[in-house]
């Protein structure tokens, strides 16, 4: 039972953070949001402002939403977890996140607090996770704090985060995929501009994009680089490719974002580990923004109440019965980009997977 709960705990945490990672921008040059032509670093920060605070000009104060994470391995084994989630921010705008000398949002203090309450599967209903994330700077790092409540034990436990390269939620997504990576960990290069064709879930039409290469400053980091296709107009990061230490494609992300109640937010992540054929879509929906929320709702005592602050309809969650119901795998898009971009892309799939792809048997 203990191992079972541990696996589901990691699944919950993965689902919670997948689509709402902390803003990864600190200490950037003044003048945000700047004017074109942009540097690679500026493009990354503008992308972060859209991705993790709701927009360049304004940030949401809080949100309440439903989320469903689905994991499917190469054998077709399915795990699904549904939850309620709410978040409270402690900043007014993205500039406060960028400036680690800001007096209101100080480095090392909580930047946002989140709570997730499991509603499915029934065996885990009532399990809850609380986390506090802190403002970081290159000179001061404070890890995310996690607390877990298990109804069976009637106890709140503090959890330790793992290594940044560790697989998270029983799958291939790592801690850096979810919440740990900071901008000052990487060197960013604008390798070109190109048209991104429609994907499996996004974008729905061709989009002009900046193509950014990011290399971690740690020589022992588990990735050799990341490539991101960032929309030139909206700064939405439609596509991300991760490459292993040998330089071969490892993971493809598609990140669908939509404008809801005036904020640009994630609604679906389409994740595919191309080397292991492991998929993990995450659906985020039923957003409600800027509702009254108190600090007391993000405490240990609140976890112990075993209280779902609202009653969701499970019929609204897009559960699946077979892997065929998953979104299609992100396309590999071989040879679809300019030479300066294609030379960065080494794609080598397992032989059997490559055969299925050629024969059109791979959805």
pLDDT in tens, 182-232: 777 799 999 999 999 999 999 999 999 999 999 999 899 999 999 999 999
Q: Residue 20's pLDDT is what?
A: 41
Q: Shortest CA distance to 160 belongs to which of 10, 7, 5, 1?
A: 10
Contact 7, 124 (CB under 8 A): no
Q: What residue ranges define each of the domains in the chain, with the CATH number in brackets?
A: 2-358 (2.50.20.10)
Quote the distance between the C-alpha of residue 183 and its chain's center: 15
Q: What are the DSSP calls for 135-196, one per residue? A: --BTTB--PPEEEEEETTTTEEEEE----TTSB-TTSS-BHIIIII--GGGEEEEEEEEEEE
Q: Residue 161's pLDDT is what?
A: 63
The pTM for the full model equals 0.88
Four-point Cα dihedral 335, 339, 343, 348, nearest 10: 10
Angle at CA of residue 320, ends 256 and 280, nearest 5°: 45
**Distance between start and end Cα atoms, the chain:** 35
Q: Is 240 left (phi over 0), alpha (psi -120 to 50) or beta?
A: beta
Q: Residue 252's pLDDT is what?
A: 97
Query: How far lies 159's CA from each of 9, 10, 109, 131, 154, in Å?
Result: 10, 11, 19, 10, 16
Quote the distance between the C-alpha of residue 113 and its chain's center: 16
pLDDT in tens, 266-300: 999 999 999 999 999 999 999 999 999 999 999 98
Q: Residue 167's pLDDT is what?
A: 63
Four-point Cα dihedral 119, 121, 122, 123, nearest 10: -120
**Burial of 336 from C-beta contacts in 10 A (0-12 / 13-18 / 19+):** middle
Q: Residue 89's pLDDT is what?
A: 95
pLDDT below 70 — which residues of the chain?
A: 1-28, 161-164, 167-171, 175, 179-180
C-beta atoms surrounding 132 within 10 Å: 17
């Amino acid at each position: 039972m203990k191992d079972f709960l541990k696996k589901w705990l990691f699944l919950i945490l993965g689902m919670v953070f997948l689509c709402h990672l902390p803003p990864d921008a600190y200490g950037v040059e003044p003048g945000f949001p700047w004017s074109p032509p942009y540097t690679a670093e500026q493009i990354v920060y503008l992308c972060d402002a859209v991705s993790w605070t709701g927009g360049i000009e304004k940030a949401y104060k809080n949100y309440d939403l439903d989320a469903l994470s689905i994991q499917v391995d190469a054998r077709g084994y399915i795990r699904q977890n549904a939850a309620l989630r709410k978040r409270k921010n402690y900043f007014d705008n993205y500039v406060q996140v960028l400036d680690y000398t800001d007096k209101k949002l100080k480095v090392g203090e909580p930047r946002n607090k989140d709570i997730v309450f499991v509603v499915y599967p029934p065996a885990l209903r009532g399990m809850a996770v609380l986390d506090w994330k802190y403002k970081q700077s290159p000179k001061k790092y404070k890890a995310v704090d996690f607390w877990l409540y298990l109804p069976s034990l009637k106890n709140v436990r503090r959890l330790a985060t793992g290594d940044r390269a560790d697989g998270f939620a029983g799958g291939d997504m790592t801690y850096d995929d979810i919440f740990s990576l900071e901008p000052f960990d990487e060197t960013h290069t604008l390798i070109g501009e190109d048209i991104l064709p429609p994907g499996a879930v996004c974008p729905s039409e061709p989009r002009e994009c900046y193509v950014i290469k990011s290399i971690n400053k740690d020589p022992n980091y588990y990735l050799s680089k990341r490539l991101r296709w960032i929309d030139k107009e909206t700064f939405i990061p439609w596509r991300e490719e991760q490459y292993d230490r040998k330089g071969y494609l490892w993971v493809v992300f598609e990140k669908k974002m939509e404008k809801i109640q005036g904020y640009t937010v994630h609604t679906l992540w389409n994740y595919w580990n191309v080397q292991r054929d492991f998929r993990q879509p995450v659906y985020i929906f039923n957003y409600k923004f800027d509702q009254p929320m108190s600090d007391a709702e993000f405490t240990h005592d609140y976890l112990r109440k075993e209280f779902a602050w609202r009653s969701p309809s499970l019929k609204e969650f897009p559960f699946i019965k077979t892997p065929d119901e998953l979104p299609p795998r992100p396309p590999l898009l071989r040879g679809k980009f300019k030479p300066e971009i294609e030379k960065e892309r080494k794609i080598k799939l397992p032989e059997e997977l490559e055969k299925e792809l050629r024969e059109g048997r791979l959805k």
